[in-house]
Amino acid sequence: MPPIEITTPQFVWASRRGDLRQWLLGGPDYSRAVEYPLAARLAQLSSGGRLLDVGAGRQAEFADLMARRGAKVTAIDAREDVGADANRSLGIDFRRCDARELPFDDESFDAVTAISTIEHIPEGDDRAMAELGRVLAPGGRLVVSVPYNPLKSADVYLRGEVYGRTGDRVFFEHVYDDDELERRIVEPAGLPVVERVRLGEPGVRVSNFYYSPRGPLRAVRYRLPLGPLFGLAAPRFLRPVDAEAFEPDDWNGAAAVIVFTRR
């Protein structure tokens, strides 16, 4: 049975389940239009396989897409409203729980995904990685993506220009460089790494226009029905690159995707 795959257009279209106006003006998440299809391919999960999706959020878009293609999905998040806006007819098992203390038996999932999730944990991202590795079944794959820049390990929210705030952590807690990836992500998982992908934006940084437009561009960004185009164009601009392609200020969208397996 071939592995489940998701295409960028499938993700972009599925995002229309929400507010149509927001879909047209805001658009599907730019980075997820690359990360979700990539994670689905790297997970190598066949229809009927057991998937644990960590950090599903309210909409649980990735869990939804995988369930529609035959995966048996358990979707978790630490927030109380996990899956609140998701399709409840697909048989997804939504649970509120802490990734640092998973309520599942050892080796109980054929694939585990944590897409742009681990960086939101203020303390204990290493404990979460150990738990994700623990519940992965032999032959399965664990796919993790986190914000990445090989030139620095930084808390970007101590910089005043981010979201116009100073000294507060506004969205995610960590940006990882190579040393931090090894110490906080790879080693705690206790599993061999089978693939690494660096996602960056050499040249045109469309992510800056999608996530934080400024000046006259901000007025245009949310008044024209360009939203879906961001998702459809994302693979052209946000793509696998070498470490040398990163700039010191790259953090919007830039990510490291690491794939583990249990032999």
Question: What SS3 class is residue 68?
Answer: helix
pLDDT of residue 159: 41
pLDDT of residue 251: 65
| Length in residues, the chain | 263
**CATH code of the domain containing 147:** 3.40.50.150
pTM metric for this prediction:
0.91
pLDDT of residue 18: 67
pLDDT of residue 235: 96
1 part of a folded domain: no
118 part of a folded domain: yes
55 part of a folded domain: yes
pLDDT of residue 217: 81
The number of CA neighbours under 13 Å toward the Cβ of 43 is 34
3 part of a folded domain: no
Total domains, the chain: 1
pLDDT of residue 173: 66
73 part of a folded domain: yes
Residues of the chain with pLDDT under 50: 153-165, 169-170
Which residues is 3 bridged to in the sheet?
Answer: 46
Non-local (6+) Cβ contacts of 219 within 8 A are: none
191 part of a folded domain: yes
Write down the residue that tokens 């098992």 correspond to.
93
Per-residue pLDDT of 105-149, as tens digits, reads 999 999 999 999 998 887 899 999 999 999 999 999 999 999 888
Supply the range of the domain harboring residue 133. 8-261
